[in-house]
Structure 1
Amino acid sequence: MQIAGFGVESWLNDHEREATTDISQSSVVALTMAEIAAMDGQKGQAFYQQLNQARLDYGWIEGSPTFKALVSDLYQRVPGENVLQTNGATGANYLAIYSLINPGDHVIALYPTYQQLYDIPRSLGATVDYWHVREDREWLPDIAELRRLIRPDTKMILLNNAMNPTGGLMDKALLSAVVALAREVGAYVLADEVYQPLDGTPFTSIADLYEHGIAVNSLSKTYSAPGVRIGWVATPDSAVVDQFRKYRDYTMICGGVVNDQLAVLILKHRQQIWARNRAIVVRNRAIVRDWIAQQPRVSLIMPKGISVACIKLDLPMDDESFCLNLLRDTGVLLVPGSRFDLPGRARLGYCTDTPTLKRGLHLLGDYLAQLD
């Protein structure tokens, strides 16, 4: 098995600890442990009492019944028994692809988005065709291209919705067109849905549109708890869930007792977290919009209520060299667009805390001005 290096992850592994102003990350600014624990309404006392009494055995292998029920509530067609807890969304994506894709299978992947969704199937020996997102369509793909790519033997269509790093979002009509094509050939549709919009933009999960839809999500992005490392895979297809269970035994025993209890607390109070994060998204997006208007070397297709953005840079050098120089000279961290196969661009993590965003944009703007 051969696999390409994971562009964005290797960049962050190498450089994020060097940064003094990190505006590269894709989550809404993380909650503290104290903030999460206080959601019990007793300043954390009830949560920690529950935790102190927990025995640190393997716990619930697939996630506790409470966790599974809370995740099920996020969907219309997914019963609790069809929810499996995973090690983040990356674990869920890997589980689904590893379970269903064999050498010689044909898959179609939205591209460029999250590298895991096309390089893992390729590493397993699948033939991977790209369904391209297009800047001139506000980072959406053309359904006519998918119609040309799909084959009678297509096994799976892999989506990132909303999309990292561009912030593009496929609406219900476009997803329904994808489902119609997939249904004609019996293909699965997997959608990594960790970037759900927070500003009221309508969002539809693939699991609620298609009997063979596989939804992946986690607490890392919209829920601001990447350190909990809990995600899930959810589908109305019970036969697929049983397939996942078999392969999951080889990749993950359990999510951990402590992490499960944290996940339950977060999901029980998701409306409170979403309200907090919505305010951050709306406030910071306005700051970015105003900053862009003053930058002759920067343009941006504005994301909706999604925590990632992809700025286009007018540079006299390649984007990776620019980002390295920027980090060295100012301490500001972006992710070069080339790490997503989007040269001349950079991922802007605008949903960091507002003072950090303002400082980062100021330093970035001054640095770009030196190029004139």
Structure 2
Amino acid sequence: MEIKTIGVEAFLNDYERDAVWDIAQSTIASLTTDELIALDPQAGEELFAEIGRSKLNYGWIEGSPEFKKEVAGLYRHVEPDNVLQMNGGTGANLCAIMALVSPGDHVIAEYPTYQPLYDLPAALGAEVDHWVIHEEDGWQPCLDELERLIRPDTKLICLNNASNPLGTVIPTELMEEIVAIARRHGTWILCDEVFFPLEDPERCQSIVDLYERGVATNSISKDYSVPAARIGWTVSPRDLADRMRVLRDYTLISGGVMNDALATYVLRHREQIIERNVSIIRRNRAIVEEWMAGEPRVSWQPPKGVSVSYIRLDIPMDDEEFCLGLLRDEGVLLVPGGRFDLPRGARLGYCASEETLREGLRRLSSYLKQFDEGRARR
């Protein structure tokens, strides 16, 4: 099997430790352990007491009953037994795609978006058609294009809601129309929901609440600000969950005792975390929009309640070269848009700390001035 390097991950692996002002990340300002405990001091003490008493064995292979119950509670009609703990959202996508896709299958994948959703099926030998989304459509998928691409033998449609890196959201009404098309052909839909919108959540529903052949992947890394735990999950119908149970033994086995306990604690306190994170989203989005009003070389489609965004850069050079120069000269990290097949732009992780965001944007403006002054930057 030939599998491509994930562009965004390779870039961050190479350069994120060099950044002084990291405005590239997609998590909402990662929580500290102290901040987690402060959400509920008594429960926090009990969490660490529980970890202290626990034997450091494999723990619950599929996730503890408490974890599965908390995840099931995020959806309308999900049985805890159909929840499987995974190694973050990335591991969840891997397991789901491996369970669904065989060589020769036909797959339709939203494009451009998070690379594994289209490159993994291709690596497994599927025929993958890109369902291309366009900036002039507000980065929303076009149903007519889906009707043109789908076939009687289409096995799977891969979606990302909300989109990484675009920050755009597929609302319930549009998702229901996508489901109707898929249902006519008996096609599965996998929806990566790790950036599920926190702001105005009533405008979106999970794919598993809309479709009997829907598969949702998610994690506590992005919306819940705890990527360190490396805990994600799949939610799916029972027959698919049983197939993924086998694959987990080859890819994960278990998430571990401490990570399971931490993830369960996070999900039990999700309302406090979401309240904090919606506040960060709104504050930081306003900061960017105020900054952008005075920055003619940058534009965006404002993200809708999610932590990632894509900025369009009016620059006379390759975006990779630009981002590397910005890091070298200003200490500011952005992910080049080309790493998502979105050239002449960058992923802006605008939900960093306020200090990091403000200084990162100030330095970005300083670096952009070279193009207005007509001078070469050394």
Structure 2 length normalisation: TM-score?
A: 0.97
- Aligned residue for 1:2, secondary structure, equals coil
Measured in 2, the distance between the counterparts of 1:45 and 1:196 equals 30
Listed as ranges, the matches of 1:125-144 within 5 Å are: 125-144=125-144
Query: Contact 1:40 / 1:47 at 8 angstroms: preserved in 2?
Result: no
Measured in 2, the distance between the counterparts of 1:265 and 1:371 equals 49
Deviations 1:185-221 (A, max 9, x none): 1111000001122222422100000001000000000
In the TM superposition, residue 272 of structure 1 has moved relative to its aligned partner by 0.2
1:23 aligned partner: 23
2:362 aligned partner: 362
Measured in 1, the distance between the counterparts of 2:44 and 2:198 equals 26
1:229 aligned partner: 230
2:211 aligned partner: 210
Answering whether residue 253 of structure 2 is matched by residue 253 of structure 1, we say yes
- Aligned residue for 1:44, secondary structure, equals helix
Deviations 1:268-321 (A, max 9, x none): 000000001011000000000111110111111111111011000000101000
2:376 aligned partner: none
In the TM superposition, residue 238 of structure 1 has moved relative to its aligned partner by 1.0
Measured in 2, the distance between the counterparts of 1:87 and 1:39 equals 25
Measured in 1, the distance between the counterparts of 2:40 and 2:351 equals 25
- Aligned residue for 1:169, secondary structure, equals coil
**What number of residue pairs does the alignment pair up?**
371
In the TM superposition, residue 162 of structure 1 has moved relative to its aligned partner by 0.3
1:58 aligned partner: 58
2:375 aligned partner: none
Measured in 2, the distance between the counterparts of 1:43 and 1:177 equals 43
In the TM superposition, residue 45 of structure 1 has moved relative to its aligned partner by 2.2
In the TM superposition, residue 159 of structure 1 has moved relative to its aligned partner by 0.3
Measured in 1, the distance between the counterparts of 2:124 and 2:96 equals 12
In the TM superposition, residue 115 of structure 1 has moved relative to its aligned partner by 0.1
Measured in 2, the distance between the counterparts of 1:198 and 1:339 equals 26
Q: Which runs of 4+ in 1 moved over 2 A?
A: 37-45
1:92 aligned partner: 92
Listed as ranges, the matches of 1:228-307 within 5 Å are: 228-235=229-236, 237-307=237-307
Deviations 1:123-154 (A, max 9, x none): 01000000111111111110100000000000
In the TM superposition, residue 99 of structure 1 has moved relative to its aligned partner by 1.2
Measured in 1, the distance between the counterparts of 2:341 and 2:51 equals 44
In the TM superposition, residue 43 of structure 1 has moved relative to its aligned partner by 7.7
Measured in 2, the distance between the counterparts of 1:339 and 1:316 equals 18
Task: Letter of the 1:364 partner, please give it.
Answer: L
Q: In angstroms, what is the RMSD of aligned CA positions? A: 0.9
In the TM superposition, residue 177 of structure 1 has moved relative to its aligned partner by 1.0
Measured in 2, the distance between the counterparts of 1:63 and 1:43 equals 20
2:173 aligned partner: 173
2:343 aligned partner: 343
2:199 aligned partner: 199
Structure 1 length normalisation: TM-score?
A: 0.98
Task: Letter of the 2:128 partner, please give it.
Answer: V
Deviations 1:319-359 (A, max 9, x none): 00000110000000000000000000100000000110000
* Percent identity of equivalent pairs: 55
Measured in 2, the distance between the counterparts of 1:96 and 1:19 equals 34
Query: Contact 1:29 / 1:224 at 8 angstroms: preserved in 2?
Result: yes
Structure 2 unaligned regions, length at least 5: 373-378
- Aligned residue for 1:197, secondary structure, equals coil
Structure 1 unaligned regions, length at least 5: none
